[in-house]
A and B are shown apart, each in its own frame.
Chain A
Amino acid sequence: MKQLNRSNTLPASMDLNRIVVIGAGTMGSGIAQWFAQERCQVDLVDTSKEQLEKALRSIHSSWDGLVSKGKLLAPDVERMKRDLSVRALDEVAPDCDLVIEAVIEDLKIKQDLFKQLDSKFSPHTILASNTSSFLITQLSKVLSPERKRRFVGLHFFNPATIMKLVEVIKGKESSPDLCQDLYAWFDQKGKKPALCKDSPGFIVNRVARNFYGEPLRIVGEDSPDRMKEVDEILKQVGGFKMGPFELMDLIGIDVNYSVTCSVWEAYQHEPRFAPHELQKKMVDEKRLGRKTKHGFYQYD
């Protein structure tokens, strides 16, 4: 990987003003909201008009709430509301600076979409994916050779307006200079970007696996009392904001198990990533965490 000279990352040599975010689910909405807060003109796109309206209501309500709490100024929020539009893909102008895809994690759907985006948008437009499951190089296979240079991974974390990390993922054919410029741009905007190579799980979803896997092996059985003890120790001694068991319950046992399996499979069943049998048992029993009111712990 090209070395990044961080002392030279500022100021960013690129300017991103017009952004298109595709997919108005939780991640897409959060990403669109963050860009609008950063004075970009944003189009949030989805195939469902209902989903777009719901996302817009939720973003506006979030901004209004922040005004009430004194965290944003009303005139700034008025501007943000003007800068953020929701529309269908065919209504979007083709000359934007950056398009970020945040649709369902389905390879065919994503590749079909990128093929369409490649032909629709200007040659200078950067295409990016917020995927956490697929390799950037795998997604870029459907793109023209010129576009492959302008295609990267931009992996945001939920909630995108609060979590500062953006993993800037360089695919096999992504331009190193483009990745460096994006890194600098996000850095300048107050995000904490991390440059990484295109590999399963990127950085976080790979390195964080053992925050869940190891406590499961320490406890080794379905024992809420022992899980509670482990959660408390990791919070008090380790300084983690949440313990692994309460966090898995919040994320969803099924979601966490699925990410674990996907990383494990991508690394050819490397034992370091192996899921724990209790995770599978809980998924089979539909004990999925807070959303089903029963995970490692019971919820009223």
Chain B
Amino acid sequence: MTNLTLGNLLINFGHGSKVEKAAVLRANDHMKVYMDLTCFDPSEFYQEHPNLCGSFSALFCNETKKIEVHLKERNPGFNRKMEELGFTLIETSVVSCGFVFPRTIVQIINEAYYALGDKVAEREDINRAMKFGVNYPVGPFEWSEGKEQVVKTLLDELYKKTGDKRYLACPLLDT
């Protein structure tokens, strides 16, 4: 995780466990914190940490650097800094585990892993099929490259919250 501090504003980036994220909030309870909560439900954090002023999801950010942001409290300093860093903020009213884009693509990625495990096709064929059959901007394994742990954390969190077996992560995500 990376913390960026500007006066009484703290922006927390990167992947971390729920405990680690909560620790950042506790250690900075005098600051206004905006935090990447891609893998968790921001509403839980808002409830427990009044200093959390907004949450965003940048862990699956592509080259367009457009990211989902939920603002509990508007702060021009946060917007300015994020824009300086090249991000375009797309405001969302959806405050739930995994926001919209990450929650949708981890399910697509998870299914691609299950298909790989069932030997339906090789990675390259699955990527190619999704790009050229249904116009996905990138293939599922291209999305997940180097982010398998993030995919797994979000799926586990969705499963914990819902109890729905549709979120059970493919064992291949662990290897």
Q: Which residues of A contact B (CB under 8 A)?
A: 1, 3-4, 6, 157, 163-165, 167, 192-197, 199, 202-204, 206-211, 213-215, 218, 226, 229-230, 232-234, 236-241, 244, 271-272, 274
Contact = CB atoms under 8 A, between A and B. Distances in A.
A86 B129 CA distance: 31
Contacts of A236: 66, 90
A203 B129 contact: yes
B39 to A, nearest CB: 15
A210 B129 CA distance: 15
Q: Output the residue of B108, B112, B118, B124 with the most chain A CB within 10 A.
A: B108
Nearest to A241: B135
Contacts of A218: 94, 96, 100, 103-104
B74 interface: no
B120 to A, nearest CB: 5
Contacts of A244: 104
19 contacts: A6-B124, A164-B132, A165-B129, A165-B132, A193-B128, A194-B121, A194-B125, A194-B126, A196-B129, A197-B119, A203-B121, A203-B133, A207-B115, A207-B130, A218-B104, A238-B101, A240-B136, A271-B165, A271-B166
Contact of A199 (B67, B99, B120, B135): B120
Contacts of B134: 157, 204, 208, 211
Contacts of B2: none
A195 B165 contact: no
Contact of A208 (B99, B100, B108, B119): B108
Given A167-B133, A196-B121, A229-B100, 9 more contacts: A165-B129, A195-B121, A196-B120, A206-B115, A207-B126, A210-B108, A211-B104, A226-B94, A237-B68
Interface string B75-110: 000000000000000101110100111011101101
A272 B166 contact: yes
A209 B103 contact: no
A239 B64 contact: yes
B92 A229 contact: yes
A206 B93 CA distance: 30
B132 A206 contact: no
A202 B126 CA distance: 10
B164 interface: yes
B133 A165 contact: yes
A272 B155 CA distance: 12
Contacts of A206: 111, 115, 120
B126 to A, nearest CB: 6
A196 B125 CA distance: 8
Nearest to A200: B120
A254 B27 CA distance: 52
A177 to B, nearest CB: 17
B133 A238 contact: no
A218 B115 CA distance: 24
A207 B165 contact: no
B101 A157 contact: no
B141 to A, nearest CB: 11
Contacts of B164: 271
Contact of B111 (A194, A207, A233): A207
